[in-house]
């Protein structure tokens, strides 16, 4: 009986050892599978990150290339535009290229700064008449108007020539014909030669209280004259508006009988 118990104990121990050995094999296999799975996933994650980094790097390279191409295209477009502007030395060239913009950017300017393209009247094309609308400017460029005044034989004092550019600017601002302004100065101050007119810088006989109005400079005197003509005599609704002809202005400025003819004579003398 005693031997039987011993045998059973030994068999139990052996069985337990076999069970433990089997459990060990099973656990070892599961560990290897888990390790392999983790290793594969880790490699997959690393590979994905590497691919993403390469894709990001490629995308950045593409964007840099596109930016460089855009900058180059913009530079080439700017160069082409500047070359075109340099070649457009006359209005006829603009017309031949079928370009009709209101403005073209200058070489030195930014995109927001523009130089207006004007169709200026040529000196030989300037026409005047007794019944002309003297609220319309001649269309001469400032340079051509200055050139015209510089060649006037009746401007013996040189006052009109020295102020020609300013007279032109004021006429554009207040919309008064430049030749009409010269004609008024011709009749009212003897082409700016009268001493009292030179002393007061008042070449259009603007008066208050029976005396010539005193101005601080020729520029101030010319602007006061042109502003008065534009705002009061030639603008509908102005305090002295009777129309836009020389005779209409003379109704209040001096008289409509003799003054208009004298002014028109002086206007013709501008071109002599």
pLDDT of 160 higher than 60: yes
Residue 163's alpha-carbon distances to 45, 67, 191, 219, in angstroms, are 83, 52, 13, 7
The reply to whether 66 and 147 lie within a common domain is no
Q: Residue 265 domain-assigned? A: yes
Q: Residue 93 domain-assigned? A: no
Give the pLDDT of residue 86. Answer: 41
The reply to whether 27 and 128 lie within a common domain is no
Nearest to 137 by CA among 244, 223, 240: 244
Q: Residue 115's beta-bridge partner residues? A: 104
What tokens does 45 get?
A: 């994650």
The reply to whether 128 and 256 lie within a common domain is yes
Give the pLDDT of residue 117. Answer: 45
- Name every residue whose Cβ is closer than 8 Å to that of residue 226 and which is 6 or more positions away in sequence: 167, 170, 171, 173, 174, 176, 181
The reply to whether 65 and 152 lie within a common domain is no
pLDDT band at 103 (very low <50, low <70, confident <90, very high): very low
Q: Residue 203 domain-assigned? A: yes
Q: How many beta carbons lie within 10 A of that of residue 128, not counting itself?
A: 17
d(C-alpha 98, C-alpha 154), whole Å: 43
- How many domains is the chain built from? 2
The reply to whether 82 and 127 lie within a common domain is no
Q: Which range, 14-18, 65-69, 110-114, 168-172, has the best average confidence (pLDDT)?
A: 168-172
CATH number at residue 247: 1.10.530.10
Full residue range of the structural domain in which residue 37 is found: 1-88
Q: Residue 190 domain-assigned? A: yes
Say if residue 213 is exposed, middle or buried (CB neighbours under 10 Å; 0-12, 13-18, 19+).
middle
pLDDT of 149 higher than 60: yes
Q: What is the pLDDT of residues 204-227, one digit of tens each?
A: 999 999 999 999 999 999 999 999
The reply to whether 73 and 176 lie within a common domain is no
d(C-alpha 263, C-alpha 228), whole Å: 17
H or E stretch covering 115:
strand 115-116
Q: At what angle do helices 246-253 and 259-269 cross, to 10 degrees?
A: 130
Q: Residue 107 domain-assigned? A: no
Say whether pTM exceeds 0.85: no
Rg over alpha carbons for the chain, rounded to the nearest Å, is 47
The reply to whether 56 and 140 lie within a common domain is no
d(C-alpha 176, C-alpha 172), whole Å: 7
């Amino acid at each position: 009986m005693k031997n039987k118990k011993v045998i059973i104990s030994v068999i139990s121990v052996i069985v337990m050892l076999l069970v433990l050995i089997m459990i060990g094999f099973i656990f070892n296999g599961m560990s290897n599978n888990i390790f392999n799975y983790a290793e594969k996933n880790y490699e997959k994650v690393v590979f994905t990150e590497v691919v993403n980094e390469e894709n990001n790097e490629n995308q950045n390279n593409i964007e840099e290339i596109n930016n460089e191409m855009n900058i180059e295209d913009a530079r080439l477009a700017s160069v082409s535009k500047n070359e075109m502007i340099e070649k457009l030395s006359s209005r006829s060239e603009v017309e031949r290229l079928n370009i009709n913009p209101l403005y073209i950017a200058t070489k030195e300017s930014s995109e927001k700064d523009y130089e207006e393209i004007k169709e200026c009247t040529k000196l030989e094309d300037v026409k005047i008449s007794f019944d002309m609308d003297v609220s319309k400017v001649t269309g001469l460029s400032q340079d051509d108007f200055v050139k015209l005044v510089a060649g006037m034989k009746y401007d013996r004092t040189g006052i009109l020539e020295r102020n020609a550019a300013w007279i032109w600017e004021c006429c554009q601002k207040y919309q008064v014909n430049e030749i009409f302004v010269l004609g008024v100065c011709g009749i009212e101050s003897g082409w700016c030669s009268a001493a009292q007119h030179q002393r007061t810088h008042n070449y259009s006989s603007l008066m208050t209280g029976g005396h010539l109005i005193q101005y601080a400079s020729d520029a101030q005197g010319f602007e006061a004259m042109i502003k008065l003509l534009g705002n009061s005599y030639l603008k509908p609704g102005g305090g002295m508006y009777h129309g836009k002809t020389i005779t209409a202005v003379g109704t209040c400025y001096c008289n409509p009988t003799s003054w208009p003819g004298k002014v028109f004579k002086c206007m013709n003398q501008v071109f002599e």
